[in-house]
Every structure is written in structure tokens, then in C-alpha cells.
Structure 1
Amino acid sequence: MPPPNEQRRASLADAAIALLVESGVHGVTHRAVDHRAGLPAGTASNYFRTREALLVATARRVIEQHQADMAQAARDHDPSAGRGTAADDRTRAIDLITGSLLLSAGQHRTRYLAIFELRLEGLRRPALAAAIDDLSAAMADFTGGHHAEVGLPIPPAAIPAMLVMYGGALFALVTGPAELVTPEAVRPLAVAIVDGGLAAGHDAAGQSVHPTAAGHATQISG
């Protein structure tokens, strides 16, 4: 169990996520976060001295939660699957991303609505945009490690394109009707992400890929 101060920090960020979805960025104030989290007035400002720091912490919370979901998916992965044929690996990658999109746009929909709100706010707040870009670059590295952990031979050059396509698919899913987030609707998107990413990786092989090449998309991938 994390120490109490980390628990409280997480509670404040979770309250900010809920407020972002309900009221947009303008509804996220220290006072509103305290009230939503059920904590004494002044708590949020003790943890996050500025409103911008509060918004950055909220983005970091979404990334941390997404990474936790990916780690759980890796733990649930059957280690006996191992490396298969190229077709087998493609199918496993599609299955993994389908499951991630369904979880993210379904059960955890509010998280990603919140981070899209923050990305848009970053257009007006350069420091917030820079912080999210840094988180996105770290997410790209994490995604590569995740693929290796579950035994998927996805080349690093494919990851930036996959992240951009994943972010676009996730945006469409979380801003559309929730009842349309079904396996039948999501799997074709996962197919496009895997096949498009691998094609882009092949084209980019041997070329320099900037670590924040996908910085202006939400760099989250399953």
C-alpha cells in the first residue's frame, strides 16, 4: 500500500479527473478539487502549489493508471504462448490492443476524456504541453518494454505511429456514444493500428525517429 501522502495525492488527482470530465479545465480549481475529494480546504494547494502543477499531476495520474493496466495485461498474458509465426504475433498484438481500447474507452472512459481535455488546454499553456510531451516520451519507452515483456516482436520504429493511431482511435471512441464501444467495433481499429504501425516501422527503419514524434497525440497504447 502506498504511503498516506501518495494516497492523498492520488485522491486529489482522481478528483481533478472527474472535474475535468464534468466541467472542463475551468472547473478544476484547488478549492473544487478539495471539495470533490472530501478533503479539508487547502489540501490541494499544499500538494500542488499552482493550478498548472495540479493539471500536470492529473495527466501523470492518467499515465500511471494506464501503465498499471498494461502491467496487469502482461501479468495475465499466457507465458507459454511465446513467439509464434508472424501471423500469430500479429493476432496477439491485435488482441492486446483490442482489449486495451475496450478497457480504456469503456470502464475507464473518464480518464481519457480528462487527458484529451488537458492536451487541448496545453495549446494555451506551453508548460503543460511540455510536461505532457515528456510523459508521452516516457510512455513510448514503457510501451516498448511492455511489448517485449509479453513477447511481441514489434520494432521500436513502429511504436510512434502505433501510439498516434491508438490515440486517434481512443479519441473517437471516448467522444462517441458509449454503447458503440463493442468488440465488433473496436477490433477493426486494432487491426489498423497494428498493420499501419508495422508498415510505418518498416518505412522508418534506418531513419531517425524523434522520441516525441507523436508528442501532439495522446501517446497511450495497449
Structure 2
Amino acid sequence: MVRNEARRTALLDAAVDVLAEEGARGLTYRAIDVRAGVPAGTASNYFANRDELMVEVMARVHVRLMPSDESVAASLDLPRDRELTVKFMHDIIRRADADKACYLAMMELRLEATRRPEIRDALTRTIAENIEANVAFNEESALPGDRMTVVSLYFAMTGLIYERLTLPDVVAAMDLDELVEVLVDRAIGPD
């Protein structure tokens, strides 16, 4: 059977939304079909089993959260300094705010990974590869900081985003700009 890639993407996007809204227990083929507005049984034609579906959802989440090539290129036209690192951190927050469903779906996938070794293995590989890609980008772009800077900022930003999504009142009274500045300062030092 020839697969329609546009439909596959629509099904994965529907799965992201279902995960974000209903959690992993609500992620069924029927729920995906309903959310995508396709005939019943469509999702099961595209994804052989739940593990395959979750691994593909994870890959789709990462595609949706990636900055555009144009955005990165425009940023790299700026001086390669602390301020550019701050800008990149704010860009991450903006993308998280613009696509909250992706981060919530990723949280659900991480929770599911604690119970399912297949998901844990795939998610571990994906996250480790993304961290390595970020380290390589930082080095190739001659941005300030070393490997541990990138790793520290990754974990700090992940925690900040998850806190903002799950318990927004905890950080609501804080100045987000100041918090990002402090995170960057602690990772690479002030100007």
C-alpha cells in the first residue's frame, strides 16, 4: 500500500495533540483518527503498533520544535556573544509557548519511557543525539561556552519550560527575561 506522507504527518500531529490533552492512556488509534478527521482505522494502517507510533510521535515532536533554517541563519548574522546565547534561549521559550502541545506530548513520552524500555531506548537516543547536535552547533558557530555550558543550558531550559507548562503560577511572578539572563550568566559568565 502506498502511504500518503501528508496524511501520515496529519496523523502524527493529531497524536501529539491527543498525548498533550489526554495523556498516554488516551492515545488510541480511534482518538487519533477522530482528532485527524479521518475514517476509523486509518491510523492503524499507518502505525503497526503503539511502540512504533510513540517513536514516530517523538520524531515528529522534535521536527515541530526545531527552529527554522531562516531563523537560525538570521541569528547567526549577529555577533557571536553572550547576547546571542540569551536570544537563542528566548527563542526556545517562544517556540515552546507557540507549540505547547509538543512539550506536553514530550512529557507524556518521557513518563511512558519510565515504563516501556523500547520507548526509553528510542527517546534516550533521540535526546542524546539532540544534545550532541546542540554541542556541535555551539562549537561550529563559535558561540561562547563549552560542552558543559550547552548541557547545563539544555537542562535548565527544559526544567524552566516544563515548570511553565505544568505549574505556571510558580514562575508567573518571576521576570522571565531576568531569569534567562541569570541562567546564561551562570552557564557562560556575564559579559
Q: Where on the TM-score scale, by shorter chain, does this alignment land: which range?
A: 0.7 to 0.9
Matches within 5 A, 1:62-211: 62-67=61-66, 69=67, 71-77=69-75, 79=77, 81-83=78-80, 89-104=81-96, 106-147=97-138, 151-177=142-168, 185-198=175-188
8 Å CA contact 1:101–1:186 kept in 2: the answer is no
Of 162-171 and 146-155, more deviation after overlay is shown by 146-155
Per-residue deviation at 1:6?
Answer: 2.5
Distance 1:192 1:5, change over 3 A: farther
1:209 maps to none
Of 110-119 and 143-152, more deviation after overlay is shown by 143-152
Q: State the distance in 2 between where 1:153 and 1:39 align.
A: 48
Letter in 2 for 1:136: I
Per-residue deviation at 1:147?
Answer: 3.2
Q: State the distance in 1 between where 2:178 and 2:162 align.
A: 15
Of 5-14 and 146-155, more deviation after overlay is shown by 146-155
Letter in 1 for 2:94: L
Residues 150-198 of structure 1: per-residue CA shift (max 9 Å, x gap): 55233223222221111101101111349x779x732233224323333
8 Å CA contact 2:131–2:151 kept in 1: the answer is yes
Per-residue deviation at 1:19?
Answer: 0.8
Aligned length: 186
Per-residue deviation at 1:108?
Answer: 1.1
Distance 1:49 1:161, change over 3 A: same
Larger proportion of helix: 2
8 Å CA contact 2:55–2:123 kept in 1: the answer is yes
Q: State the distance in 1 between where 2:142 and 2:68 align.
A: 14
In structure 2, stretches of 5+ residues that fail to align are none
Measured on the aligned residues, the alpha-carbon RMSD in Å equals 2.5
8 Å CA contact 1:74–1:146 kept in 2: the answer is no
Q: State the distance in 1 between where 2:147 and 2:69 align.
A: 19
Letter in 1 for 2:71: A
Moved over 4 A (4+): 148-151
Per-residue deviation at 1:24?
Answer: 0.9
Structure-1-length-normalised TM-score:
0.73
Structure-2-length-normalised TM-score:
0.84
Letter in 2 for 1:174: L
Q: SS of the residue aligned with 1:76?
A: helix
8 Å CA contact 2:153–2:184 kept in 1: the answer is yes
8 Å CA contact 2:82–2:144 kept in 1: the answer is no
Whose relative contact order is higher, 1 or 2, with alpha carbons under 8 Å and at least 6 apart?
A: 1
Q: SS of the residue aligned with 1:21?
A: helix
Q: State the distance in 1 between where 2:161 and 2:94 align.
A: 9
Distance 1:194 1:29, change over 3 A: same
